[in-house]
Amino acid sequence: MESVPRGTVLISGSDAVLLCTSRLNPYLHTKLQRRKAVLAQARKDTPRSFGTSQAIPTRWCGRAYWNSPQEPSRRDIEAAKVTQETRAPRPCVFPQVKVVLQVPSHLSLLGLRGFPICHRFNFSHLVPDKLKDRHMGLQTKSTTGGTPHFTLEGHKFLIFGGSIHYFRVPRAYWRDRLLKLKACGFNTLTTYVPWNLHEPERDKFDFFGNLDLEAFIWMAAELGLWVILRPGPYICSEIDLGGLPSWLLQDRGLNLRTTNKGFVNAVDHYFDHLIPRVNHLQYRRGGPIIAVQVENEYGSYNKDKNYMPYIHQALLQRGIVELLLTSDNEKDMVKGYIKGVLATINMKTFSSNSLSVLKQVQRKKPIMIMEFWVGWFDTWGNHHMVTDAKEIENTVLEFIKAKISFNVYMFHGGTNFGFINGAINFGEHRAVVTSYDYDAVLTEAGDYTEKYYKLRELLGSILATPLPPLPDLVPKAVYPDVKPSFYLPLWDVLEYLNEPVKSNVTINMENLPINHGSGQSYGFVLYETSICSGGYLKVHAQDAAQVFLNETFIGVMNENIQHLNIPKFKGCQLLRILVENQGRVSYSWKIQEQQKGITEFPGINDIPLKDFTIYSLEMKMNFFERLRSATWRPVPERHSGPAFYLGTLRAGPSPKDTFLRLEGWKYGFAFINGHNLGRYWHIGPQRTLYLPGVWLQPEDNEIILFEKMMSGSYIQFTDKPIL
């Protein structure tokens, strides 16, 4: 037995036994090579066989060996075949004949661990459009002596989930990404819901366009996918402030993620608007939502023992009736657990120890990997994170063998368009890059990866029904270089901004009296005041500040550089401090101290500075509309300092996806027809910005770069990302 090669099936008559060994015995190899035949079907129906009678796809049947002194008859061979079209099981009768059939390595591993090589999961009847009469949603079951498992409408069910965030994908591409999720063999979509994008100002809600959550969920149902909703209110997700709106930071006495009255009132108001929008989308009400997550990884925060029960009740009281679950890492599992709610775990590799912790927390419940990290996010100044595709395939295989439900995070990451990226701070503030590619199963632009093909083959091998065909890729283009023709220094733009704020002291972003009292969430703030002497300038600015005298650059300041020497000068001059929010921390207790702008009173030689004019540079769509009436200047050979650069991209009659490459430019943001593509930064690792073709118009398109430091010469394009 041990001399049979790795990845083979030994078939004798109607009995099939799977063997897996490290190498082939030379003697047996020589003997088996004497007789060859093609085998395209294996039938197993004896008590000794591993599983049920199923077809092995013909594409796996590379070659087979006859270990018999007699040649097989034509009738024997025909009886063993099955067409690629039907893959219908047919009897295989080979008396006294042993056949070695080569199959993919992941199937041989299944057999080695006691998994039925020919058993397949059949969930074809458990899809949204076929379950009309609904009584029991997703439930957990445990039988005496059996393995705990999920059921859907009373049938055993495994969740093969993949995360796609609607707010990181252009709406026109939602269907494409969801079709690719389905074609890979997944049956469930998971998505976070970002409070900060849905309520950007107090009591001003946005569930339209790219934030139309209901449309996204209905589209998933239409395509045959179930949905696990993760509504927060905190979601992490490497988004600004973990998805919490920045106006919560106006009151420093408001404790985030606790039962603090101010926070509870804000959450209640948000849930009063969010939950009614998704209630009718729940399984028992005809929709695809089979589970809802309570908060997110609270065990790692754990500031208030009453907080998770409050969120739990807040969901129930507003009509959530489907299965509720929590999500935590191994070390935080106990602290994030709520009695009566399914606990799930997050992990990067299959870990028996981690699963043991989960089992100890909740006995007799099925295991769910809520976040199986198939990659990781990048931060500016670090290298691009990648994970081996074979390692991912093997881990998913381990989940399947153990009949563990899982959710791939991320299946498709998308992009941190605009200013929405978050940051981490474990001793140093590091902003998350614009791309949320995450080394995911699909690329940032929705293209297939090695991980995709491996997971599709694996899931296709254990599902009873054929997978849908692969959707076509979204076409890409390399456009001619664009040389900006005009520019506007920042100082020329100030008159096109909203009315500045006059204040005796500096005001941080969140407390600026703008946006109906909700302050400023993203972008830049420019502080101006008159000074009549140089000296030792002290400023506490978050996150990055540039200091100017009139229009002359003096230096930079940040959390590590809070002092700067202002040279002597005659008379009085205008001190200008341009401060940028590079992304609020999205994880850890530091979310509580994420006010941006100048957050403490500045001074020169310990004398407080006063009488400020404060400009808000949020760079919203209407700002660029106003800039069209500005008097743009011809671009000089080189220009340093913050400025806007204008060029025209000619995309032809059928615009396609592309990537901006900004070699020679230092730091800034790119806008196409008013859409903010996000931040570029010469320190990398990201070198390109994804430009969806659906944001381009036929023929001429307006490109504007806001460059903080030093202009380049050209805007280049490529059809492949450089991350």
**How far is it, in rounded angstroms, from Cα 347 to Cα 355?**
10
Handedness of CA 393, 371, 437, 441 (dihedral sign): positive
Q: Which two tokens stand for residue 271?
A: 């849930």
Rounded to 5°, angle at Cα 188 from 184 and 191: 110
Q: Residue 693 carries which DSSP code?
A: G
Question: What is the spatial distance between Cα 662 and Cα 498, in angstroms, rounded to a whole number?
Answer: 30
Q: Judge contact between 294 and 314, C-beta under 8 A.
A: no
Q: Return the structure tokens found at 184.
A: 């890979």
Q: What angle do CA 12, 18, 23 make, to 5 degrees?
A: 110
Residue 200 amino acid letter: P
**CB proximity list for 74: less than 8 A, separation 6 or greater:** none
Environment class of residue 339 by beta-carbon count within 10 Å: exposed (0-12), middle (13-18) or buried (19+)? exposed
Alpha helices (H) in 432-570, listed in sequence order: 450-462, 490-493
Residue 11 · residue 101 · CB < 8 Å: yes
Roughly what angle, to the nearest 10 degrees, separates helices 213-222 and 174-183?
A: 40
The set of catalytic residues is: 297, 371
Bridge partners, residue 501, by sequence: 614
Residue 448 to residue 441: CA distance in whole angstroms: 7
Q: Are strands 342-347 and 368-373 parallel, antiparallel or unpaired?
A: parallel
506, 602 in Cβ contact below 8 A?
A: yes
Residue with tokens 């004019």: 613
Classify the C-alpha dihedral 484-486-489-491 as positive or negative.
negative
Q: How far is it, in rounded angstroms, from Cα 24 to Cα 111? A: 18
**Structure letter (DSSP) for residue 522:** S
The span from the CA of 373 to the CA of 599, in Å, is 36
